[in-house]
Structure 1
């Protein structure tokens, strides 16, 4: 049975990208590049003092948005990924605990707002450092009359809404039918205009796109094709690199890093993979995890059609408990960047996500959303499936 048929039948699949080539070589020719990641990180540091002013709880993080690297040995042993007595080598990046918004989407969403704020300041001949000593009223007076619009299944809208309102923007979030009610209410409670759709994520994004008009001060943040979002996510790789160094974990050919990242439209996992490949090259193996009910990136890459196809074309309607991954069509920008560097994708059923979610809470006392649990099927595929074992043999990994 060919893989498109497997996808259509909503079977679990583990797909290894046949088009992946030497990361270092392809990245040298690719735009964006390493300098763009470095500039994105520099912008985070420029905004850090102001973030402490806006959100005092960030003082202990020096104004940076990052999460802990959390060992999960009890869950790993329970799942059979770690032998009794074996030193733990399985971690989660705890973005469920990210300050202010509590999801990975804060990395890209907050950064995209920073880019717009800095652009407005530059138009007024101002520098971000000058805002640190200004009152909140002064800061908001500079931004006054401008708006942000975004389409979202939930978490990106939450991130844009929280940061946008903190700076004084009016914010409108176009939310798909998959969005959770509590996220809509949280946005409304901080003064965000929430427009609800009875249709899917793509329609919400289309509605947001049509309402954007930068010339009139209405800035559309494009979850499907935003380079700013992508680069914001890429800085997570730099932060992870530093954390692994602090744990004395060396990543090299004979000691590679495997990373399993939940994927919706692709911005967050794509940006993180892009950053990690720049740092570790082919010593890091990155796989995207998607629900069997919404394998947008997998379908786009397998067919080679990227964003020109939707899983709706083969009768899949994105009905999944993982609302953050309920996407039918991948980002064109991300799919094109990932095509030569991503190692592969796999799909997971809803009931498996819920089992992993429960195990993580029972064994490690960590609470996450279903979307965040999709990646836990990665070690299971690599360790216990024929496809995973074939991948290890092909890449000479013990």
Structure 2
């Protein structure tokens, strides 16, 4: 695949290594209970870690020989698995390879309804997301063994989205709908399959908790059925990053460019964007562009989860509430919403304004855990 350079105005938003924690902390899951293993893989992924999911010791041993990963912890579905000759041989190989014993935890008493860590729950808060207490306890159990994998579990008490923006008339809200559209997720899967190498596809989707979508015949329909847990998009985002660990940002940006086609695919929407600059000045053009984009987002998610405001310095703020592309994720070291950055860039290209405006993410839910992400579009001064 051809390389894609990251736009200059995005460089300040790019973390040095968005999968740094995952590189350091690989957790091997050996569990025949597929639902539990997949929910756990999703949870670990949303906590910034890297899961390797297998059903048997043989499969785990085989992947170790092929990929040569260093597990910081083994999660076993059944304690009796440790008594098998093959597991003893595998464990001995790990000990010889890394000159240390790998910690083991059993999962016999753990059951998860899903893998979400940070969720919109209007009954708990109408302005910000909340952390799942049940899933927090599972993470704390893991962190007792791997303390360096720990991330904060508290939603920010103060943030731009919840404190300052309401003073400007941008009031925070959380998603009422607990599911996202199947058609959108299908397109995200299609885009991901174009950038993730074929030999990694099934392994990576399984490792992030999306094993049910390994086969295209099991993908959700192209109809607008709201049945997809929103955190699945975030897990898919991480799978894309894991597929090119040497250049995770470049890889996710390739995916973002393809996902853009889904967001901006309606001919009427593109036509409207193209017509705006022909009749208005720069400031009015941006107002109309953001208004059009906001209406499109509201239609896609079936509720008002985006808003914008013009500031006195002639820049614009744009807010995504219960942001879909980082939904549930915690522990980011810098703003990480590459898909929306790519989308804004594409909109500026369509409207022929890419040289007139700069876009950056001011605040990311991956850091604050509020669920909301704030962007600023600033006019380029000549």
Q: TM-score, normalised by structure 1?
A: 0.26
Structure richer in helix, relative to its length: 1
Q: TM-score, normalised by structure 2?
A: 0.27
